[in-house]
Amino acid sequence: MTFELKITTAEQVIEQDRAKALSSLADFRWQCAMAGVVLPGGLHIPGDEVTRLSLSGAVSALQQGMISEPLAWKTPTGFVELTQVQVEAAAQAVVQHIQACFVAEATVAAQIEATGDPAGFDIQTAFGAALAA
């Protein structure tokens, strides 16, 4: 029976930590994006793909006269009626939020790549700061 001694270098540990940090960052961005936005009137609009697609379709259908306002819209707290202006504002807010989440992820990913040792990197704080910028 032979045993093989496997040695992990400090560089390999750092690269493993970096990969874990980038994976955690992607997960955190996804959670933030899916949480969606709260519109000025207090209406919460999730950021999931189904909601984004539904909003896009509603905007298009309203603009083309295929449907008319007010639109019945189901939110996490129940049904509301939305005007065309509100549907367009909701769609815009959600897609801007999703884009801001990706920009924040890219910013923080670059910070993780640049750090010498990502083991102690605070992803949530860095993401929050990048998202607010």
Question: 3-class SS at 40?
Answer: coil
Mean pLDDT, to the nearest integer, of 93-105?
A: 98
Mean pLDDT, to the nearest integer, of 26-55?
A: 96
CA–CA gap between residue 101 and residue 109 (Å, rounded): 12
- The one-character DSSP state at 120 is G
pLDDT, position 10:
86
Mean pLDDT, to the nearest integer, of 76-104?
A: 96
CB atoms within 10 A of CB 48: 14
Please tell me the pTM assigned to this model: 0.87
Mean pLDDT, to the nearest integer, of 20-25?
A: 96
pLDDT, position 5:
78
Residue 108 contacts residue 127 (beta carbons within 8 Å): yes
Which of the pair, 130 or 13, is modelled with greater confidence?
Answer: 130
Taking the chain, what is the end-to-end CA distance rounded to the nearest angstrom? Answer: 59
* Radius of gyration of the chain from its Cα atoms, rounded to whole angstroms: 21
Which tokens go with 71?
A: 């639109």
